[in-house]
């Protein structure tokens, strides 16, 4: 167990915020599989200030999600503080995180996300003002720097700590790298060695062994896993078990994968309605089937599905194809 200020976290596995993915349907699955701490997808400060219905709906938290970190992005201090106060007082999250790591052009062009790493003084002022106005712990998710010529993670982290941040999540890539190349764990270690607040290490943790390796090599308080669990939340359970016992659990079988995919689809439908829910499920379904035989063929069918009934038929026919080791045309 470790803590972010007064929030106790049962294990060292943190699920990263992923835009368009980290909604309650996905988060409840992560919690079910044993995640210690879960992040929401990022929400816009301006959208909260304008009471945008879709964004306000994104701030809803289910009882089974705690402890939960809600992530906020923006650039202007006044609107960031206003939105932070809303999250602090009007939502049931446990921790408020400020996104200073998102590399996506749309976010960076508004001087938010990883663009803030180019202006550490302004970033620190955002943290300082938010900390003054909220009761919940405030954390920062950051990157190694903007590009290889401006790797400023250690200096930036110290400024965030001095501004009142209660913990940091450090992705070992620069903004320029996006999600390509290799994450630099040496930078994560350097940040951990420099600050006294908890640090979560993020980047290239795709197995229980790599999670243990990151903990050993960097000394971080927890590992943050993102894309590695898409379609494979069993990685959470396997990692938690391995860190505790040193024993590797077996992989999931087809029945388990397909049953969880059905449950995920049902949760998305309950959350967003069948039309939107099943469109979002197309991506998740492809992840659940990644690595299975004939998966490239079934993905063509998944990309066109619009109803839960279609999805069930696809899964059943695909399962028979795998059992018989013979591709069967999927009835639609």
CB 108 within 8 A of CB 102: yes
Cβ-Cβ contacts under 8 Å for 6 (sequence gap 6 or more): 137
- The verdict on whether residue 16 carries a ligand-binding annotation is no
3-state secondary structure of 255: helix
- The verdict on whether residue 17 carries a ligand-binding annotation is yes
- The verdict on whether residue 263 carries a ligand-binding annotation is no
- The verdict on whether residue 71 carries a ligand-binding annotation is yes
Write out the catalytic residue numbers. Answer: 102
- The verdict on whether residue 24 carries a ligand-binding annotation is no
Residue 136 has φ and ψ, to the nearest 5°, of -75, 155
C-alpha to C-alpha distance for 211 and 28, rounded to whole angstroms: 22
C-alpha to C-alpha distance for 26 and 38, rounded to whole angstroms: 10
- The verdict on whether residue 141 carries a ligand-binding annotation is yes
C-alpha to C-alpha distance for 286 and 85, rounded to whole angstroms: 38
- The verdict on whether residue 137 carries a ligand-binding annotation is no
- The verdict on whether residue 161 carries a ligand-binding annotation is no
3-state secondary structure of 307: coil
Cis amide bond preceding 67, omega within 30: yes
Copy the structure tokens of residue 175: 């903004």
**β-pairing verdict for 2-4 and 222-225:** unpaired
Q: By CB neighbour count within 10 A (0-12 exposed, 13-18 middle, 19+ buried), where does 129 fall?
A: middle
Instruction: Mark the binding-site residues, compressed into ranges.
Output: 17-19, 71, 141, 171, 226-227
Instruction: Mark the binding-site residues for FMN, compressed into ranges.
Output: 17-19, 71, 141, 171, 226-227
């Amino acid at each position: 167990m470790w803590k972010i200020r007064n929030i106790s976290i049962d294990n060292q596995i943190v699920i990263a915020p992923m835009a368009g993915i980290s909604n309650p349907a996905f988060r409840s699955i992560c919690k079910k599989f044993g995640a210690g701490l879960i992040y929401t997808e990022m929400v816009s400060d301006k959208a909260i200030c304008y009471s945008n219905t879709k964004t306000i709906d994104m701030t809803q938290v289910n009882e089974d999600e705690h402890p939960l970190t809600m992530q906020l992005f923006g650039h202007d201090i006044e609107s960031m503080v206003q939105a932070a106060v809303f999250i602090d007082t009007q939502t049931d999250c446990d921790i408020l995180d400020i996104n200073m790591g998102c590399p996506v052009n749309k976010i960076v062009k508004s001087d938010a996300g990883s663009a803030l790493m180019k202006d550490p003084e302004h970033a620190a002022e955002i943290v300082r003002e938010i900390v003054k106005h909220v009761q919940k712990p405030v954390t920062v998710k950051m990157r190694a720097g903007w590009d290889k010529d401006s790797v400023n993670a250690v200096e930036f982290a110290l400024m965030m700590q001095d501004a009142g941040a209660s913990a940091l999540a450090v992705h070992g890539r620069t903004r320029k790298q996006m999600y390509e190349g290799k994450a630099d764990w040496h930078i994560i270690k350097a940040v951990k060695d420099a600050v006294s607040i908890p640090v979560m290490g993020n980047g290239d943790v795709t197995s229980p062994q790599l999670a243990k390796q990151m903990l050993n090599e960097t000394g971080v308080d927890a590992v943050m896993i993102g894309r590695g669990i898409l379609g494979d939340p069993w990685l959470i359970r396997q990692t938690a078990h391995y860190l505790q016992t040193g024993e590797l659990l077996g992989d999931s079988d087809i029945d388990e994968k397909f049953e969880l995919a059905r449950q995920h689809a049902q949760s998305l439908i309950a959350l967003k309605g069948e039309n939107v829910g099943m469109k979002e499920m197309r991506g998740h379904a492809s992840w659940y089937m990644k690595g299975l035989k004939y998966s490239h063929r079934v993905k063509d069918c998944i990309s066109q599905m619009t109803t839960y009934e279609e999805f069930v038929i696809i899964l059943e026919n695909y399962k028979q194809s795998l059992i018989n080791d013979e591709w069967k045309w999927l009835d639609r």
